[in-house]
Amino acid sequence: MKTILNFGSCCIDHVYQVPYFVAAGETLPGKHYAVFPGGKGLNQSIAIARAKGRVHHAGKIGQDGIGLRDQMLDAGVNLEQLLISETNTGHAVIQIASGGDNAIIIYGGTNREIQASETIKFFTNRAAGDLLLLQNEVSCNETAIRTAKDKGMMVSFNVAPMTQEVFDLPLDLIDYFIINEHEGRALAATDNLEDVPNRLIEQYPHCRVLLTLGEHGSWYKDATTEIKQAAFNVEMVDSTGAGDTFTGYFFAALQAGASTQYALTRASAAAALSVTQPGAATSIPFAEQVDDFLQNRQA
């Protein structure tokens, strides 16, 4: 792939450290509060750039999100397709439990006000050989998928969050499904995780399925190839953004000409490093850190 066009969300993350996830009707005191740049789109664009990939980010922020723009610029993301609106940027409320697991509420804001006419313009300079990377946090994903395919691009869909509206999209046009175990079960309509890749490949024969399984690693499968990648054992501080780090590093490695096996290994190393630091975008490691990590593990 020549260039990755990431049509994705930008969010302001409000992060609360809690002893456990709050229950219905409960008032729970937080131990710590911080604000971080986030949004699956922003996280994945920064991950690709820090992995030394070539990525253009398309999307929309408000004036309150200018700091998010600066974060992406500093990482080396091309922002020619980033729009600025007068309304509020999307944001997330994130609980981080004592063990590092997270629970997230997302408010779409500007991410959900992108128009079809704006979306089509994002593809003006795109061509066959490029990749469109999508998540499910922005409006006009159907327009993006169909426009990308008209250009001869490949399409990767990180099906997060998984909603009923996903089934209204032209899923037969997707080349890569990037899903965790919960999204995979819902998308494949099965309670058995082992059945997820086969069901999706049966329904969409040309697709590639990449399941991210947290501490259990990742699982890649297409019509002819199956690879299971173990996770690296690290002490987890905050799992927020680990999947986005994995996705960004995976596609940056493929863009550089790596094999799928090496792309999975490198993505797993990057995700492992990310969970040892707080925050989402702020926890994404640089390529040199991933190199050192892999060299030390091999040694």
Average confidence (pLDDT) over 17-35: 94
214 token code pair: 């947290």
Helix or strand holding residue 295 (H, E): helix 287-298
Q: Which residue has the tokens 């089509």?
A: 120
Is the distance from CB of 21 to CB of 103 less than 8 angstroms?
A: yes
pLDDT in tens, 116-140: 999 999 999 999 999 999 999 999 9
For 4-298, give the CATH class.
Answer: alpha beta
Distance CA 45, CA 49 (A): 6
Single pTM value for the model? 0.92
pLDDT in tens, 78-90: 999 999 999 999 9
Q: What percent of the chain has pLDDT over 70?
A: 100
| Rounded distance between C-alpha atoms, residue 119 and residue 116, angstroms | 5
Q: What is the mean pLDDT of residues 248-261?
A: 98
Domain boundaries of the chain, sorted by first residue: 4-298
So what's the pLDDT on residue 299? 58
Mean pLDDT of the chain: 95
Q: What is the 3-state secondary structure (H, E, C) of 153-220?
A: CEEEEECCCCCHHHHHCCHHHCCEEEEEHHHHHHHHCCCCHHHHHHHHHHHCCCCEEEEECHHHCEEE
Residue 210 has pLDDT above 80, yes or no: yes
Q: What is the pLDDT of residue 279?
A: 83
Summarize the confidence of residues 32-41 as an average pLDDT: 92
Residue 187 confidence (pLDDT) above 80:
yes
Residue 287 tokens read as 């390529």
| HEC letters along 202-246 | HHCCCCEEEEECHHHCEEEECCCCEEEECCCCCCCCCCCCHHHHH
